[in-house]
Structure 1
Amino acid sequence: MSSREQILAAIKRNQPEQQELPVLDSFRHTEAGDPAAFRKVVETLGGQVYEITSYTEIQPLVAEHYTDVTRVVSIRPEYFPGAITGWQEGDGRQLEQVDLAIIPGQLGVAENGAIWITEQEIEVRVLPFITQHLAIVLPRTEILPTMHDAYARIWSPSAGFGVFIAGPSKTADIEQSLVLGAHGAKSLTVFLIG
């Protein structure tokens, strides 16, 4: 018996007994998440939340709060009429000068302000990370109470890429000085619709 086979046999003999995974149903909720709690967490993380009833409210809010923005990419034309078109073509470098990207979110989590997005919504994976500012349009009815509820909802994702985004990019690693936009968008705005 080779040394490799001896090692593998020893590992096989010394396996712990199988145990069932714990049941986590007590962490799951049947009620919807609280939009006020979601808003509070997003704002604590440095983001801003605007409650809207129609997509037509997005463009005036952008004009009011992003006065220096000129290059806007919008996943859906109804979010921001007049946004840049043809931005999907290329390897991602064509997006390096984007000031604001407006994308849809699938669901939000009230306990930590995270928003789940997949490549199905954003079309180009780098978009929410390369843009200077990020805005996410999220249905008010798609806020869940906890991450347990979110993971239960996305248990078997159909997309090849998905990410939770919570607040603008930031770090305080260097000399304990907070830096916004360290490895992603400098700001996050959530348009809560519904």
Structure 2
Amino acid sequence: MASLLPRFVLLWAFTLWAFTLAASVFVAGPAAAGPDDPDLIFRKSTTFNLVTPNDKLATYGIDDPVVEGVACHYTVPEAGGISGAFGVAEQVSDVSLACHEYAPIRFKEKFAQGDVVFREKRSLIFKKMQIIRGCDTKRNVLVYMVYSDKLIEGSPKNATATVPLQPWGAEREPQKCADWLK
């Protein structure tokens, strides 16, 4: 009888894992990336869960939709466990952000201070993460900020990244972000 107990526990754990995996595919469906979805760069597990998905840190990349030549990368924690497997876990507000110029900067249209560059839900209903853009006109620097907000209570957790507008290649003068403010 004692030798059957470890086998039973292992079989039970495997069955629970398979059921959780199947249920998460059924509930969430296949994740197809759309044109406005961020690009997953990589994920790294931060905990180990035997049966359910691990907690992870995930790094994503996005391009600014209005400013060509600027990319932002952000890292967010992704909850594991049963609620994470079913996609109903409320994600924490800890997000890091870095934005850089990777090609000559070209503005596609005018923008307002605090315009949303990217928005993503961080819970089933009430919480979202946003990356917004502004212009420091005195220093000619694009300023990006990421924060999470909630319907009832916001989060003071945020991060800021800056992209100075400088000449690129044969350009003599960089564009002025102040010229593109609404």
TM range (shorter): under 0.3
Q: TM-score, normalised by structure 2?
A: 0.24
Question: Bigger relative contact order, structure 1 or 2, given CA contacts below 8 A and separation 6+?
Answer: 1
